[in-house]
A = this chain, B = another copy of it.
């Protein structure tokens, strides 16, 4: 039973600041979103607490945290599992994105937020130029995160952060990252231009089409018979 769990021991070095439970949660969150733990996989309390060198109680506090973020599925007396998103979950995540990002593009952009967005677009383009599609994906995520800051709401920022973490759970099903990320590099640039030009309605409409497309790609790869 060392489903890559032994490997975790290297992360013990990261333990040393703030609350242990939170640091454990940070580590597990990273591992989950990078696909190190696969959706559906059970996370054994004993194995992980031993691998990270923390007590079961502390680990359980971390599990609660991640469960609340919907990254883990906590089933009573059965343990915690890496969350498996249904097609309906994906649809719901995109519903939320349309609401939050849609509201964002309708606001008058601040120079600061625009700077972040620009940077993300440029990063994505650079990564695409060198065929690093993993980096493109990361930059695209940063793009949307930056987009949401237009709302100037810490809570919406946080909600978006969680939403994207959840979405990463399903990004890994895309066998070919290029197909999934490439089409959006150009679109991000276009959306940025619309924002800079203050063409709010066009930007909103463009974003809707954008999200529709992304959702379709994802749901198709995820659940081919849908």
Tell me the A residues contacting B by CB distance below 8 Å. 18-19, 21, 57, 60-61, 64-65, 68-69, 76, 92-93, 95-96, 98-100, 102-103, 151-156, 159, 163
Task: Report, nearest first, the 4 A-B pairs whose CB atoms are least far apart.
Answer: A99-B103, A95-B153, A68-B68, A64-B64
**20 A-B contacts (beta carbon < 8 Å):** A18-B76, A57-B57, A61-B64, A64-B64, A64-B65, A68-B69, A92-B153, A95-B151, A95-B152, A95-B153, A96-B155, A96-B159, A98-B103, A99-B99, A99-B103, A99-B151, A99-B153, A102-B103, A155-B163, A159-B159
Tell me how many chains of this kind the complex includes: 2
- Across-interface contacts of A64 in B (CB, < 8 A): 21, 61, 64-65, 68
Are B60 and A156 interface neighbours, CB within 8 A?
no
| Contact status of A99 and B156, CB under 8 A, knowing A61-B64, A64-B65 | yes
Are A156 and B76 interface neighbours, CB within 8 A?
no
- Across-interface contacts of A103 in B (CB, < 8 A): 98-99, 102-103
Interchain nearest-CB distance for A83 vs B (Å): 13
- Across-interface contacts of A102 in B (CB, < 8 A): 103
- Of B61, B98, B99, B159, which is within 8 A of A61 by CB? B61
In the complex, what residue of chain B is closest to A159 when comparing beta carbons?
B159
Give complex CA distance A159, B96 in Å: 10
In the complex, what residue of chain B is closest to A55 when comparing beta carbons?
B57
Are B156 and A96 interface neighbours, CB within 8 A?
yes
Interchain nearest-CB distance for A16 vs B (Å): 14
Most buried by B among A64, A65, A68, A152: A64
Interchain nearest-CB distance for A78 vs B (Å): 12
A sample of 6 more A-B contacts (CB under 8 A), given A65-B68, A96-B159, is: A18-B76, A64-B65, A95-B151, A96-B156, A98-B103, A103-B103
